[in-house]
Amino acid sequence: MGTLRDLQYALQEKIEELRQRDALIDELELELDQKDELIQRLQNELDKYRSVIKPATQQVHKQTELHEQQRTKRQAISAEPTAFDIQDLSHVTLPFYHKSPQSKELIKEAILDNDFMKNLELSQIQEIVDCMYPVEYGKDSCIIKEGDVGSLVYVMEDGKVEVTKESLKLCTMGPGKVFGELAILYNCTRTATVKTLTNVKLWAIDRQCFQTIMMRTGLIKHTEYMEFLKSVPTFHGLQEDILSKLADVLEETHYEDGEYIIRQGARGDTFFIISKGKVNVTREDVPNGEPVYLRSLGKGDWFGEKALNDWLWNGDGTTYKI
């Protein structure tokens, strides 16, 4: 009987141990679910910021996937592709508002000084400048109210405003500053209140106009890249989808006359295709010796596909960098 009681006691211990393990598994499953939700939110936020920092090409030509594998019962998350093409956007007429050269320069400099918008291409900035329209507010007016849904971004030209959050003063802003920029990323509520301290003159653009500019310039740039890649003899045999993926990751880089692109002995991890200009290929056969000229390369030529430690480059023109 003693042996049976021992077995019964051991069985009860095992059952309790299994129950505790089941409870722990449930807790871990819940924690993983919460982390998956957090990853999804962060991914969505990242996509929204990328729509400003990078051209919108990737929103049209590819889906954004999570960087890590999900468990079997969880589905991968991807961005919804936008069903626009260049033909659709080419028929959209963007508004144009006349500005003095001084106002144009002020808006441009304000955008280049803004953390969210400074990485836009100059062609995109130019269109934004052209589409911005004038807005004026009197002293003690509320331009933006915390918690309201916003769709406008502003550039200050004249006057001064105060920024507060939960009734606490954050800062004051004067001419040449951008504010309300989160509104052009997505349909969000305002995170702070902006009130005028003086009469102010602003320039504004709405989210729809901004996103149209991003989509159109992104698609046009992608088409230009595709045409350029197709003109490179080495890529003639590549399929359209491969060329499209290459076009998605191309990055335009400019070099001045005489500037080095690759230095002999430096570690290389970039592939270059020459779009404009010429480069010289030289090599130093002896340390600190006179560089030996090898050849020149021009439009359509490419380099950097192999180890780069034998070559030294200089020249001028525009290259596309992957």
What tokens appear for 237 in the block?
Answer: 């045999």
Closest CA to 117 of 153, 82, 148: 153
Using H for helix, E for strand and C for coil, what is the string for 61-117?
HCCCECCCCCCCCCCCCECCCCCCCHHHHHCCCCCCCCCCHHHHHHHHHHHHCCCCC
Q: What is the pLDDT of residue 71?
A: 37
DSSP annotation of 138 reads -
Collect all residues with Cβ–Cβ distance below 8 Å to 229 and sequence separation of at least 6: 235, 238, 243, 246, 247, 273
How far apart are the C-alpha atoms of 38 and 257, rounded to whole Å?
48
What tokens appear for 319 in the block?
Answer: 């290259």
Q: What is the CATH number of domain 86-214?
A: 2.60.120.10
Q: Give the model confidence (pLDDT) of 267-297 as tens digits.
A: 777 888 888 899 998 888 777 778 888 889 9
Closest CA to 206 of 94, 58, 46: 94
Specify the domain boundaries for CATH 2.60.120.10 within the chain. Answer: 86-214, 251-321
The more confident residue out of 124 and 42 is: 124
What tokens appear for 197 in the block?
Answer: 């301290």
Q: Give the model confidence (pLDDT) of 143-171 as tens digits.
A: 999 999 888 999 999 999 999 999 999 99
Q: Do 43 and 64 touch, CB atoms closer than 8 A?
A: yes
Q: Do 158 and 127 touch, CB atoms closer than 8 A?
A: no
DSSP annotation of 67 reads S
Sheet holding 133-137, edge to edge: 133-137, 200-206, 152-158, 178-179
Q: Do 110 and 154 touch, CB atoms closer than 8 A?
A: no
Please list, residue by residue across 152-162, b when 16 or more beta carbons sit within 10 angstroms of its beta carbon and e when fewer do. bbbbbbebbbe
What is the pTM assigned to this prediction? Answer: 0.55
What is the signed CA dihedral for 185, 108, 152, 189, rounded to 10 degrees? 50
Collect all residues with Cβ–Cβ distance below 8 Å to 181 and sequence separation of at least 6: 52, 114, 116, 117, 153
What tokens appear for 136 in the block?
Answer: 């004026």
Closest CA to 103 of 130, 123, 76, 121: 130
For residue 80, report the phi and psi dihedrals to the nearest 5 degrees: -75, 125
DSSP annotation of 98 reads -
Provide the mean pLDDT of the chain: 77
pLDDT beyond 80 at 121:
yes
Q: Which CATH superfamily is domain 251-321 in?
A: Jelly Rolls (2.60.120.10)
Q: What is the pLDDT of residue 90?
A: 58
Interval 225-246 mean pLDDT: 84
Interval 100-118 mean pLDDT: 93
